[in-house]
Structure 1
Amino acid sequence: LQFYCSNVIAKAWNAVCPLVAKLKRFYEFSLRLENALRSLLEALTSPPYAPMQHLEREQALAKQFAEILHFTLSFDELKMTNPAIQNDFSYYRRTISRNRLNNQQLEAENEVNNEMANRMSLFYAEATPMLKTLSNATTKFVSENKTLPIEDTTDCLSTMACVCRVMLETPEYRCRFTNTDTVLFCMRVMVGVIILYDHVHPVGAFAKTSKIDMKGCIKVLKEQPSNSVEGLLNALRYTTRHLNDDSTSKQIRALLQ
């Protein structure tokens, strides 16, 4: 029996180590995304151009911004539907902690030691870890660039949201989409910039004074098949800051129920 248990434990450990190594690579990638996002925001908001002028002049950078948001929402949707990620990582942490108490060190700790495991644990504890990283990066960008009017950042985000909404709801644009992946790309980018806007704007994206047409954006999402947008609607419900503020109309709350 002891041999059988040891064999099972060894198999479980050998199975979980490659998964933890992969989780580490995604965590480190999130740090690179954070730096990239801040650089892109600086390029897309710096004077003397208005947000729309920036997006027209710097289309390649705007596309990279959109690609980051697309990946972020894709990753977080997968993470939310895979609870095994945190279960496996919790098992890994318990194992290395138990071995440390026994003055043993496992080979896997050379790649993911206790300090790294603690940072990764905080990252994966978030419901939407990549989006949380980008939201924090955007907030930090605004707070550190005090000479840059906050409107320069929020106008850039609201302009991108408007462009995506128009592309999704206008037949002339929709007929150019050759596959559903393009529609999903636009939806993810739209939701991503709405969430970033809501984190950095003083009253958020849902207030009447918001420059984002939230009713139109939500309506566009709800016109799509429910299996492709439920994760995006949940992101608006649970990762925004101002949805439950008094300034949010009952109609918008009802749309997101």
Structure 2
Amino acid sequence: MGNLLKVLACAELEHGPIVFLDFEHAQPTEAETAVWNQVSAVLEEAHGILAELQSYNGAGQEIREAIQNPGDLALQEKAWNAVCPLVAKLKRFYEFSLRLENALRSLLEALTSPPYAPMQHLEREQALAKQFAEILHFTLSFDELKMTNPAIQNDFSYYRRTISRNRLNNQQLEAENEVNNEMANRMSLFYAEATPMLKTLSNATTKFVSENKTLPIEDTTDCLSTMACVCRVMLETPEYRCRFTNTDTMLFCMRVMVGVIILYDHVHPVGAFAKTSKIDMKGCIKVLKEQPSNSVEGLLNALRIRKCKNMSKPPNTVIHSYPT
């Protein structure tokens, strides 16, 4: 396919310059290897995390029986034994979010460092751009699964109530050694979010911008808006869609597009939904709505949630008419 990232001169099109990013085959150059290896070690766990979350059934039945029969010690023990391994699993998910946050920071440093512009970075660090996309794909996938699984919140709430009740009775359960009160508080805040992984990455991006005061904020937001544009054009242009060799790449592209939109909205002073935004929001939403609803409803919901949070911004900066 030649260069994995190819800038095509298309001045006759309204889109301006079109970028095709090969999300399927990019390999690291020698200059990218150090960061790529660091991030790759994290991403290797991502598939397993999603598989565990997808198979997470919860302990709803055991919890209901224990609540309905508070005097039955056998049922209390049965519920507790069912919940503890699930909470250990939730802890692993939370700890993975912290590793993902560090990986994102490394990629942001590589993809926004001077003297190169965002487009130049994408040309030079194609494999890192692919890893950035893979992190966003995982993040949106995780949050979609979490939003449709109330058992996560129910199990963790039952765990915390049981711990609190036993503390009042001066009892300490063995499970507290793995998930102590401080860890439980942090996990509670994490899972209380509608989109916890995306919230983690959004906060990490904001922190990256605030800690790198010598780096203009535009370097970060332009990197994000460029990737959003890349994904939108690849999705809406048959010539580029036909280059995908994997049927899952369409959904991958959509998740990445939504992910960078939300990160941009979180970091940019007026957000992605502003009339002055560098992201063509109407075009992005149009692309999503052209896909089967069952494959994009979670993505549209993520944009709806983010748009609602923007309503506190000045009215002239927010477009209220997006048909999301």
Pairwise same-fold verdict (TM > 0.5): yes
* SS, match of residue 207 in structure 1: coil
How far, CA to CA, are the matches of 1:189 and 1:47 in structure 2? 24
**Structure 1 segments of 4+ aligned residues over 3 angstroms from their partners:** 1-4, 247-256
| Displacement after TM superposition at 1:172 (Å) | 1.2
The percent of aligned pairs where both chains have the same amino acid is 95
* SS, match of residue 256 in structure 2: helix
In the alignment, structure 1 segments of 5+ residues that lack a partner are 238-246
Between stretches 178-187 and 47-56, larger displacement belongs to 178-187
CA contact (8 A) 1:218 1:255 kept: no
How far, CA to CA, are the matches of 1:216 and 1:176 in structure 2? 21
| Displacement after TM superposition at 1:176 (Å) | 2.6
CA contact (8 A) 2:274 2:318 kept: no
| Displacement after TM superposition at 1:97 (Å) | 1.1
Classify 1:252/1:18 alpha carbon distance in 2 versus 1 (closer, same or farther; 3 Å).
farther
- The match for 2:131 is 64
How far, CA to CA, are the matches of 1:111 and 1:3 in structure 2? 22
* SS, match of residue 248 in structure 2: helix
How far, CA to CA, are the matches of 1:62 and 1:107 in structure 2? 44
1:215-254 alpha-carbon deviations (Å, 9 max, x no partner): 11000000000011111011111xxxxxxxxx99999999
Which structure has greater helix proportion? Answer: 1
What's the Cα RMSD here? 4.9
1:126-176 alpha-carbon deviations (Å, 9 max, x no partner): 111100001111111111111111110011001100111111111012123
Q: 230, 237, 244: which one pairs with 1:163?
A: 230
How far, CA to CA, are the matches of 2:149 and 2:93 in structure 1? 15
Between stretches 68-77 and 103-112, larger displacement belongs to 103-112
* SS, match of residue 115 in structure 2: coil
1:33-80 alpha-carbon deviations (Å, 9 max, x no partner): 111111111110010111011011111111111111001000000110
TM-score by length of 2: 0.70
How far, CA to CA, are the matches of 1:178 and 1:66 in structure 2? 17
1:89-138 alpha-carbon deviations (Å, 9 max, x no partner): 00000111111111211111111111111110011001111000011111
- The match for 1:243 is none
Classify 1:88/1:250 alpha carbon distance in 2 versus 1 (closer, same or farther; 3 Å).
closer
- The match for 1:249 is 312
1:50 aligns with 2:50: no
TM-score by length of 1: 0.88
Tell me how many residue pairs correspond in the alignment. 244
CA contact (8 A) 2:274 2:317 kept: no
CA contact (8 A) 2:139 2:198 kept: yes
CA contact (8 A) 1:188 1:232 kept: yes
* Residue correspondence of structure 1 range 1-257 to structure 2 within 5 A: 8-237=75-304
How far, CA to CA, are the matches of 1:144 and 1:164 in structure 2? 28
